Structure 1
C-alpha cells in the first residue's frame, strides 16, 4: 500500500512537472530530462510511469479535462438561472486557468499544431457553453430574437481569448476583466427586467482545482 501511494504521488508530481515545463518551454522544446529534473526523480522513474513524451502529454491533457469538468459540472443551485450559472462558471474557469498550470496547459495543447489533440478542451468548453445557453433559451431567459449560436460564439470567442492572452498577461484572467465582459454582453442576451437578476461579477466563490 505504501509503495502504491508513493507511486501515485510520483505520477501526480510528474504530471504537474510536465505541465510546468510545457508551460515554460513549449511542448515541442520540452525534454523528458527537464521534466524528471523538475519532478526530482530519475529518467528511469519517469519512463516507468510514461513510456514516451507523447504518452505523458496525453495524460496531462486527460488530467486537465477532469479539472475542467470539475469547474463546469456542478449542479445548478436552487433559484439560479442558467445565465447566472454561465457567468459564474466563466469566472471560475478564469480563476482556475490562472491558478492551475495543468488546466492551463491542457487548454493550450488544443492549439498545438505539432500533434493532433486527443481531447480538445476548447471544444469541450464550447459544447458546454452551447448546452447551457440552449437550456437558458428553453427557460425563456434569453432576450427575444437572441440566437443561441450567436451568443455562444461571443462567449466562447471572448473566454478562449482570455485564456490565450492570459498565458502572458494574467490580468486577462482577472475577475474585473471577466466582469467587464459580462456587463457589456448581458444587455444583449437578457431582457431588461431579468437583467437585474444576473450578476456580472458572479455569485459564488469557485471551488479550488487541483
Structure 2
C-alpha cells in the first residue's frame, strides 16, 4: 500500500511541477529534466509515469478538466436559475485560474500543442452552450436572444479573461467578471414585462 501511495504522490507532484513549468516557460521550451527536478524526482521516475512531454501535458489538461467539471457541477446544483449558474461558474472559474496553476496551465495548453489540445476550453464551451439551451427552454432568455450567439459571446469573453489573466492577474478578479456580467446580463435575461 505504501508503494501505491508514493506512486500517487509522485504522479501528482509531476503534474503540479509540469503545470508550473508550462505556465512559466510555455510548452515548447519546457524540458522534462526541469519538470522532474521541480518535482524532486529522477528522470526515471518521470518516465515511469509519463512516456513523454505530450503525455504529461495531457495529464495536466485532464486534471484541469476535472476541476472544471467540479466547478460547473457545483454551479449547476446551486439553484437560482440557469443565468445565475452561468454567473457563478464564471466567477468560480476565474478564481481557480487565479489560484490553481494546474487549471491555468490546462487552459493554456489548449493552444494546440498537446494531444488533448483544447480539452478545457471545449469543455467550458459545451457547458455554456448547454446552460443557455436550458435557459431558453425554461424561458429565462430575453426575446430575440439566440443561445448560440450568447454562448459565443460568453465563451469568447471568458477565454479572453483567461488569456489576458495569464499576463495580468487583474483580469481574473471578481470586479472584472462582475463588470462583464453587469453589461451582458440585462441583455440576456427575460424581464417580467416580457413574459
Q: Shorter-normalised TM-score: what interval?
A: over 0.9
Q: Tell me, in whole angstroms, the C-alpha distance in 2 between the residues paired with 1:116 and 1:17.
A: 19
Question: 2:10: which partner in 1?
Answer: 10
1:115: how far off?
4.1
Q: Counterparts of 2:133 and 2:26 in 1: how far apart (Å)?
A: 36
What is the match of residue 20 of structure 2?
A: 20
SS of residue in 1 equivalent to 2:33: helix
Bigger proportion of residues as helix: 2
- Residue deviations 1:39-89 (CA, integer Å, cap 9, x gap): 1111111111112111111111111111111111234334x1100011000
Paired residues of 1:143 and 1:190 also in contact (CA < 8 A): yes
Q: 1:74-93 alignment to 2 at 5 Å?
A: 74=74, 75-78=76-79, 80-93=80-93
Q: Which residue does the alignment assign to 1:96?
A: 96
TM-score by length of 2: 0.93
**Residue 52 in structure 1 maps to residue 52 in structure 2:** yes
Separation (CA, whole Å) in 1 of partners of 2:24 and 2:128: 29
Instruction: Please tell me whether the aligned partners of residues 142 and 188 of structure 2 are also in contact (alpha carbons under 8 angstroms).
Output: yes
Which runs of 5 or more residues in structure 1 are unaligned? Answer: 195-210
Q: In structure 1, what is the equivalent of residue 125 of structure 2?
A: 126
Kindly indicate whether structure 1 or structure 2 has the higher relative contact order, using CA contacts under 8 Å at least 6 residues apart. Answer: 1
Residue 111 of structure 2 aligns to a residue whose secondary structure is: coil
Q: What per-residue deviation string (whole Å, max 9, x for no partner) do you get for residues 121-165 of structure 1?
A: 111111100100110111110111111111111111100000000
Establish whether residue 40 from structure 1 lines up as the match of residue 40 from structure 2: yes
Q: 1:136, 1:7 → 2: CA distance?
A: 44
Q: Which TM-score applies when normalising by structure 1?
A: 0.87
> Does the CA-based 8 Å contact 1:60-1:106 persist in structure 2?
yes
- Post-superposition shift, 1:186? 0.8
Correspondence 1:154 to 2:153? yes
Q: How many residues align?
A: 192
Contact 1:65–1:106 (Cα < 8 Å) also in 2 = yes
Change (3 A) 1:168 1:138: same
Provide the residue aligned with 1:208 in structure 2: none
Could you tell me how far apart the structure 2 residues matched to 1:6 and 1:116 are? 27
CA contact (8 A) 1:14 1:36 kept: yes
